[in-house]
Amino acid sequence: MSTAFTNAPKTAAEWRAFLRANPDVARRLEAVIQPRMTKYIPHTPFPQQAAFLLLPHREVLYGGAAGGGKSDALLMAALQYVDVPGYRALLLRRTFADLALPGALMDRAKTWLAGTDATWNERDKTWTFPSGATLTFGYLETEADKLRYQGAEFQYIGFDELTQFTETQYTYLFSRLRRLKGSPVPIRMRGASNPGGPGHEWVYRRFFVEKKGRIFIASKLTDNPYLDQEEYRRSLAELDPITRRQLEHGDWHARHEGNVFRREWFKLVDPDELPLQVKRALPIRYWDFAATEAHAGKDPDFTAGAKGVLVGGDLYILDIRRFRASPEEVERRVRQTAEEDGRAVRIHLEQEPGSSGKITISHFERNVLTGFIVVAHRPTGEKRERWKPFVSIASKGRVFLVRGPWVTGFLDEAEAVQWVDDGSTHDDQIDAVSGLYAALLEGDAGWLAAMMRG
């Protein structure tokens, strides 16, 4: 072996000749690069799928372009160990309707497994194999649905269209991954997805920014030899340019951009990675109140409260609270947030023009936020004009978002708002953050002036 590799082949032609001359090496190499298969997998995986099936890593994402064979890859991976007693696999879609679609995972599994010695339980949506291994299909339509799997044990969990799920649904399912000591079956969390979707941001961050040993396998339309590629391209040509880049080219950087903000302007930072000056700075909380509460058939504004600090010209948004509720519930939640923030955090309230605005501020000072520092903030000019200082600092990459459950909702809103308000999108968080930035720019001088006016 060592003699044979003294002059190792360098080109593809040299490798082919070498393997023909050394069939024992060829057999060993084939064993290394051939993924584990069972008789229940009817297709030969193409290279990207084979890599997906071979990887020993705990967490792998497969996807990119539509038509890249991601659903087949998930199902193949789920079936790799069904000949091992005690093996348990779970495949998930966001809703049962998604799961039951023609050609979707559950339907595809029935096509593959019909006529084999595996048996189907319609009630439990589970295939059972002669070894006793099982493959179960499920869904996570609501956040609470993840608790349906509490106490269950799986060695393989696959999420189809991962960007349709929330990050908390995904991470909770890791608690269901375990195996007996000495088991030959690997523990695997697998996802498959196209770019886009409500969970795009957290999936992109997890696999493309943080990584931490997580693997992404890119698949393209051209990788799938079983698909009529030209016909599918004609179908994709009907899409808007951004969606087409996501689905045809698997471009994870392609996003729908609003007319005001771009998603990539904002920088994400973990709480434990904040600079020392930011940790020592005293934040403020700025509230922008909704005029009405939610009613059936209506889509009124939200009450939004943004907390942040300004350090060295950089804006750090630490937290945003956003909700629609009755006036009494708004007061309760504003008070609760103040108690969570602490009494050292100044609370700025947007004051509407006229005597009614003064009455509202007075009421909050005397009855809702007693014991806290309350500052009335009187913005001037049309609100989209008031956005411009915040737009300016954001466009320079000087706005940092501290990771939290609020971040995705804020980015989605920022990406959607337009300079011309057509009523189709909400902008409450943008109003709150713009007010926060204005109040921070005013600093102590603005605070003292407001207190003197009050």
Q: What is the mean pLDDT of residues 407-427?
A: 80
pLDDT score recorded for residue 435:
94
- Residue 400, beta-bridge partner list: 267, 316
Q: Please give the residue that has the higher pLDDT: either 294 or 192.
A: 192
pLDDT score recorded for residue 8:
63
- Dihedral (CA of 35, 41, 42, 46) sign: negative
Classify residue 397 by its DSSP letter.
Answer: T
Residues 6+ apart with CB under 8 A from 65: 194, 219, 220, 221, 247, 248, 249, 250
pLDDT score recorded for residue 2:
41
pLDDT score recorded for residue 3:
41
pLDDT score recorded for residue 134:
98
Q: What percent of the chain has pLDDT over 70?
A: 81
pLDDT score recorded for residue 407:
93
pLDDT score recorded for residue 9:
67
Residue with tokens 């909400």, as numbered in its chain: 426
Confidence of residue 446 (pLDDT cuts 50, 70, 90): very low
For the ranges 44-53, 157-166, 302-311, 399-408, the lowest mean pLDDT is seen at 44-53
Reported as a single tens digit per residue, the pLDDT across 233-255 is 676 676 656 676 677 666 777 66
pLDDT score recorded for residue 278:
95
Q: Please give the residue that has the higher pLDDT: either 324 or 80.
A: 80
Q: What is the mean pLDDT of residues 386-393?
A: 90
Q: How far is CA 451 from CA 309, 337, 346, 373, in A?
A: 20, 22, 12, 10
Helix (H, G, I), strand (E, B) or coil at 218: strand
Residue type, 380: T
Q: What is the mean pLDDT of residues 387-410?
A: 92
Confidence of residue 216 (pLDDT cuts 50, 70, 90): very high
Q: What percent of the chain has pLDDT over 90?
A: 51
The residue among 169, 192, 184 whose CA lies nearest residue 77 is: 192
The pair of structure tokens assigned to 298 is 């209506």
For the ranges 173-177, 341-345, 378-382, the lowest mean pLDDT is seen at 378-382
Q: What is the mean pLDDT of residues 380-404?
A: 88
Confidence of residue 264 (pLDDT cuts 50, 70, 90): confident
Does 333 have pLDDT greater than 60?
A: yes
pLDDT score recorded for residue 256:
55
pLDDT score recorded for residue 201:
80
285: how many CB neighbours lie within 10 A of its CB? 26
pTM for the complete prediction? 0.54
CA atoms of 318 and 278, how far apart (whole Å): 10
Where is 323: in which H helix or E strand? strand 314-323
pLDDT score recorded for residue 1:
40
pLDDT score recorded for residue 433:
95
Does 447 have pLDDT greater than 50?
A: no
Reported as a single tens digit per residue, the pLDDT across 48-104 is 888 899 998 999 999 876 666 788 999 999 999 999 999 999 999 999 888 888 888
Confidence of residue 269 (pLDDT cuts 50, 70, 90): very high
pLDDT score recorded for residue 5:
46
Q: What is the mean pLDDT of residues 148-154?
A: 92
Q: What is the mean pLDDT of residues 277-306?
A: 79
The pair of structure tokens assigned to 398 is 């000087």
Give the mean pLDDT of the chain.
84
Does 289 have pLDDT greater than 60?
A: yes
- Structural domains in the chain, CATH included, are 1-33 (no CATH), 35-249 (3.40.50.300), 263-453 (3.30.420.280)
Decide: residue 31, CB within 10 A, 0-12 exposed, 13-18 middle, 19+ buried.
exposed
CA atoms of 444 and 454, how far apart (whole Å): 15
Q: What is the mean pLDDT of residues 397-422?
A: 86
Confidence of residue 187 (pLDDT cuts 50, 70, 90): very high
Does 366 have pLDDT greater than 80?
A: yes
